[in-house]
Amino acid sequence: MILGRPTNQWVGLVTAGLSLAQVLIFAIAKPVGDDALQIPIVLGSISTFLGVLIAFLAGQPPTLAPGDKYVVQTPAGEDNVEKIANTNVTPIPPNASTEPVVNR
């Protein structure tokens, strides 16, 4: 998120702005020949760079280390729950006393 807005809205804004610039340049300047090809190539490259930059800045997921506390948000009316990131990542083996399930 950047300034309270999700990443996809910022990428959409940048893409729409550069597309508008491309349309206005073609409508006002009426480029011909190689100039007509260079404008969308340059603006497309700028749009790609800004989209990746926005995703890099805003799209970093939070990283938890073992032992870090985090809050699990619950539905309205219920208390949120605070948990601790798992410090023991060893899987627990199944109980040997249970009988195997047989598909019939």
User: Residue holding tokens 């309205």?
Assistant: 76
The model's pLDDT over 50-100, given as tens digits with 9 standing for 90+, comes to 888 887 777 666 677 888 888 888 888 888 889 888 767 676 666 666 666
Question: Which residue segment(s) compose the domain that 33 sits in?
Answer: 7-58
Distance CA 86, CA 65 (A): 9
Is 43 within the bounds of a domain?
yes
Classify residue 17: in a domain, yes or no: yes
User: Does 82 reside within a domain?
Assistant: no
Task: Note the pLDDT tens digit of each residue in 18-53.
Answer: 888 888 887 888 877 777 778 888 888 888 888 888
Residue 46, in any domain of the structure: yes
Check if the beta carbon of residue 80 is closer than 8 Å to that of residue 73: yes
Residue 34 falls inside a structural domain: yes
When divided into structural domains, the chain yields a total of 1
The sign one gets for the Cα dihedral 58, 60, 65, 67 is positive
